[in-house]
Amino acid sequence: MKNSKPLVLVTGASGFVGRHIVPLLKQEGWDVRSAVRRRSGEGDEVVINSLGPTTNWSTALADVDAVVHLAARVHHQREEQAVKTYHDVNIAGTLHLARSAVSNGVSRFIFVSTVLVHGRSNDGHVPFRENDVLTPRGLYGMSKAAAEAGLRNIAEDCAMCVTVIRPPLVYGSGAKGNFAMLVRALKQGVPLPFAGINNHRAFLAVQNLASFILQRLQKADKNFDVFLVADEEQVSTSEFIERLAEAAGIRSRQFRVPAPILSALLRMSGRQEMRDSLMGSLVLDVSKAAATGWQPPVSLDCGLRLALDDSKM
């Protein structure tokens, strides 16, 4: 520890997960330096205009004890530019930050990856485990897998403890993407044809992800370690929607379409990724995380209630 209180640099601090992890870290006795694109005037901030292989991290990493790396490029609309963007930001940018952290004497580095390094589903197979051979799907998943491999190589030659966390879909107040669309559909009373889906999927409340990040900052003791983390319950898509509706105090209005028909319709419409996310199973073996002594502090139902409460930001 370089100061009276440990100092952690959080990239992506103004994003969805960052807005939840920063207050928790402060509450638990950490000084937090936020890497942001635009200053908000709140706390210790350093402006990083872009994340890439030439980013100057010297000011951001001064006196820092640990790094929580949340920032990443998740979506890209122009496919012809996506490969370079994902490489520069998610791979080269991550590895450059890690090497800069090593040079500045940082002791712990937390990298939030994605379960997509395993693929989108494991229908008919055993639950995903940390030591599986990776089969990433999509440019985003492949970029995260490549970043993980690079971090492993960096960790082999330094004293910095690198922890990789592979979360499934993270939900919570302020979440965007599929979760936000689902909330809007439920609140608007849109009928959803998912009552016949009988799968099992892992989800992760943002409070649980933040809790595990904090635990790894406090207890990481290996040069390189990987964890799958999820809520205690892994439920079907239809049950997740039903319980989200219950948390909102509304009726879900789900109806049943035979799974083969729904699957065929999604495939015919070119929505294979959506088909995998809605209908495929994504079951995770989280026994390794549990073996550290960590338990999810928030249940699925509590996490869904918190996700609908905008005051819990």
* Separation CA 225–CA 144 (nearest Å): 15
Q: Catalytic residue, from 111, 128, 140, 179: name it.
A: 140
* Separation CA 152–CA 131 (nearest Å): 13
9 forms bridges with which residues in the sheet? Answer: 33, 67
Closest CA to 286 of 276, 297, 296, 299: 296
- Determine the longest span between alpha carbons in the chain, in angstroms: 61
Q: What are phi and psi of 299, to 5 degrees?
A: -75, 170
Q: What are phi and psi of 166, to 5 degrees?
A: -110, 90
Q: Is 140 a catalytic residue?
A: yes
In 3-state terms, what secondary structure has residue 102?
helix
Give CA 147 to chain center in angstroms.
Answer: 14
DSSP collapsed to 3 states, 108-131: EEEEECCHHHCCCCCCCCCCECCC
- How many secondary structure helices (H) and strands (E) does the chain include? 12, 9
What are the residue numbers of the active site? 140
